[in-house]
Chains A and B, each alone.
Chain A
Amino acid sequence: MGNPARAAPPPPTASAVKQALDGVPGIAEVRFADGQVYVIRRGVDDARDDQIIRAFVELDFDDFHLVPLNMAGTVPDGVRVL
Chain B
Amino acid sequence: MASESSELDAEGHLSAAAAFLSDAERMVALRGTPNEARPGWIITAAFYASLHVISAYTFARHGVKVAAHRDRTDWFRDYPELATDRFAFVSLKKRSEAFRYYAEPVTWSGADEALSAARRMNAKWSDRTRKALGA
Contacts and interface: CB of A to CB of B under 8 A. Distances in A.
A binds B: yes
Interface of A: 1-4, 6, 8-9, 44, 46, 49-50, 53-54, 56-57, 60, 62, 64-68, 71, 74
Contact of A6 (B73, B77, B109): B77
Interface of B: 63-65, 71, 73-74, 77-78, 86-87, 90-91, 94-95, 97-98, 101-107, 109-110, 113
A67 B77 contact: no
17 contacts: A3-B64, A4-B78, A46-B109, A46-B110, A49-B91, A50-B91, A53-B90, A53-B91, A53-B94, A57-B86, A65-B94, A65-B102, A66-B95, A67-B98, A68-B98, A68-B104, A71-B103
A19 B40 CA distance: 30
A64 B64 contact: no
Nearest to A63: B73
Given A65-B101, A68-B98, A1 B90 contact: no
A66 B107 contact: no
B104 A46 contact: no
Contacts of A74: 102
A3 B64 CA distance: 6
Q: Which of B64, B97, B102, B109 has the most CB of A within 10 A?
A: B102
B67 to A, nearest CB: 9
B43 to A, nearest CB: 11
A62 B104 CA distance: 19
Given A46-B110, A56-B90, A62-B73, A2 B98 contact: no
Contact of B107 (A4, A44, A56, A57): A44
Contacts of B77: 6, 9, 60
